[in-house]
Amino acid sequence: MDNVRVQTKELSFSTKGNGEIIDLTDKIQNALHEAKFKDGIVTCFVVGSTSGITTIEYEPGLLQDLPNLMEKLIPVNDDYKHNATWGDGNGFSHLRHSLIGASLTIPFEKGHLLLGTWQQVVFLEFDNTQRQRTVILQFMGV
Amino acid sequence: MDNVRVQTKELSFSTKGNGEIIDLTDKIQNALHEAKFKDGIVTCFVVGSTSGITTIEYEPGLLQDLPNLMEKLIPVNDDYKHNATWGDGNGFSHLRHSLIGASLTIPFEKGHLLLGTWQQVVFLEFDNTQRQRTVILQFMGV
Amino acid sequence: MDNVRVQTKELSFSTKGNGEIIDLTDKIQNALHEAKFKDGIVTCFVVGSTSGITTIEYEPGLLQDLPNLMEKLIPVNDDYKHNATWGDGNGFSHLRHSLIGASLTIPFEKGHLLLGTWQQVVFLEFDNTQRQRTVILQFMGV
């Protein structure tokens, strides 16, 4: 059996801000192929504290429903103390980040991510302006 | 020291739908014993986008409280665009999935999951019908 | 290339209860240095079912905003069936745990956690009394 090894990659991309949802599935699968792993995990980690990562069925209805849910649970306009500290008005972005979380771990086998057919990996831009973003993909396995 | 290795297993089971909560703790611990790992992690990953995985104290009160919370935060009946797309009426299931998340990573030592005494691993069926489900258990360690 | 190895550590600390938020970033980074890993992941796992772990910008405004959000989504005082079972009045603590989650996986490279500058790892005490807490840090990598 081959030895387990580690390889760290970065996905870098620009976002438009304001609730944009970006499907990362193909990029992660491609990075897995390039790194030539068969069995193991990829840790997907968003760098920074105003975005998030999760899985969803990437279809137009849910691309409206998820931002609507975020606005219902954590509205853009509310009395956030963070806004008083920094004046950048993105307290809601930070709270959405802490709720959804920074890390997602996906197992793979025979070189394929073990996702469902209608289960895509998505980056959630919670910030209120366009941003340059980095997602760490760290592969560990054989 | 032994070499780190990887082993992928699947848990397959039927659910009744509608908020069912299934305790997977013993099945995961048994799979760990069978796979003969001592120290490492198990990545638990729900395949599909209308269920979730988390930890909870598995007692009758919370088995009512958690579905009640989900209904409060993401009601079954609301104006979800997903429902207009597919007509299957499970927009709420998808949103609950994205909120709770698809992956949980549990460390183990000397062959035992490092859970608290009153901390169980639970599969959350968010869909509105009975389903056949798969949870990936991928062990990595020595 | 060095062989991948596993090392399990514990952080133990006391909390004051009632929504306390504790920055664990330096402790995790120090444990990483002591364990002499270069590239890999650290699985951070809260033992027990009334606390949580996530990342946030650790600044005074958000240290008020996050507890306020938790109180809005899952109020301390509500009709939780858990409270009828145990009489300890911490049903809300359990639900916050299940929502935020027990595990966080952070990749590291060249001995440094791959966090953003304003992204700290925080332990969230959801219980209503002071507690003695354990967070598992399990390092895997080279």
> pLDDT tens across B23-64, in order?
999 999 999 999 999 999 999 999 999 999 999 999 999 999
What are C35's strand-pairing partners? Answer: none
Q: What is the CATH number of the domain that holds B122?
A: 2.60.120.460
DSSP string, B33-90: HHHT--SEEEEEEE-SSSEEEEEE---HHHHHHHHHHHHHHS-SSS--HHHHHHSSS-
**C chain contacts of residue B64, beta-carbon cutoff 8 Å:** 81
Residue in chain B closest to C99 (alpha carbons) equals: B100
Strand order in the sheet with A51-56: A21-23, A120-125, A51-56
Give 3-state DSSP helix, strand, coil % of chain B, rounded to 5: 30, 35, 35
Q: Any chain B CB within 8 A of the CB of C71?
A: no
Lookup: tokens for B2: 């032994």
Residue in chain A closest to B75 (alpha carbons) equals: A69
Alpha helices in A56-126 (DSSP H): 60-73, 81-86, 91-100
Residue C142 amino acid letter:
V
Convert the pLDDT of each residue in B69-112 to its tens digit. Answer: 999 999 999 999 999 877 889 999 999 999 999 999 999 999 99
- What value does the mean pLDDT take over residues A77-98? 93
Lookup: tokens for A125: 């831009």
Answer yes or no: are the C-beta atoms of A133 and A27 closer than 8 Å.
Answer: no
pTM: 0.97
pLDDT band at B18 (very low <50, low <70, confident <90, very high): confident
Lookup: tokens for B81: 């665009």
pLDDT band at C1 (very low <50, low <70, confident <90, very high): low
**B chain contacts of residue C98, beta-carbon cutoff 8 Å:** 54-56, 62, 66, 100
Residue in chain C closest to A78 (alpha carbons) equals: C65
Range of the domain at C51: 5-141
| CB within 8 Å: C98 and B60 | no
> pLDDT value at position A81?
96
Cα angle C125, C45, C88 (rounded to 5 degrees) comes to 40
Position A136 pLDDT exceeds 80: yes
Lookup: tokens for C42: 């650290």
Convert the pLDDT of each residue in C63-115 to its tens digit. Answer: 999 999 999 999 999 999 999 877 889 999 999 999 999 999 999 999 999 99
As a whole number of angstroms, the distance between CA A62 and CA B94 comes to 8
| Residue % of chain A over a pLDDT of 90 | 94
Task: Indicate whether this complex's ipTM tops 0.90.
Answer: yes
Sole residue written with tokens 């099945």: B27
In a mutagenesis test of the C interface, which of B37, B54, B57 is the best target, namely the one with the most C β-carbons within 10 Å?
B57
C105 φ/ψ angles, rounded to the nearest 5 degrees: -115, 125
- What value does the mean pLDDT take over residues A58-76? 97
Answer yes or no: are the C-beta atoms of B47 and A116 closer than 8 Å.
Answer: yes
| Length of chain C, in residues | 142
How many structural domains compose chain A? 1
Average the pLDDT over each of A15-19, B106-110, B134-138 and give the range with the smallest value: A15-19
Q: Are strands A103-109 and A112-113 parallel, antiparallel or unpaired?
A: antiparallel
Lookup: tokens for A45: 């980690």
- What value does the mean pLDDT take over residues A93-105? 98
pLDDT band at A117 (very low <50, low <70, confident <90, very high): very high
> pLDDT value at position A1?
65
Alpha helices in chain A (DSSP H): 25-35, 60-73, 81-86, 91-100
Lookup: tokens for C50: 């009334």
| CB within 8 Å: B141 and C4 | no
pLDDT band at A30 (very low <50, low <70, confident <90, very high): very high
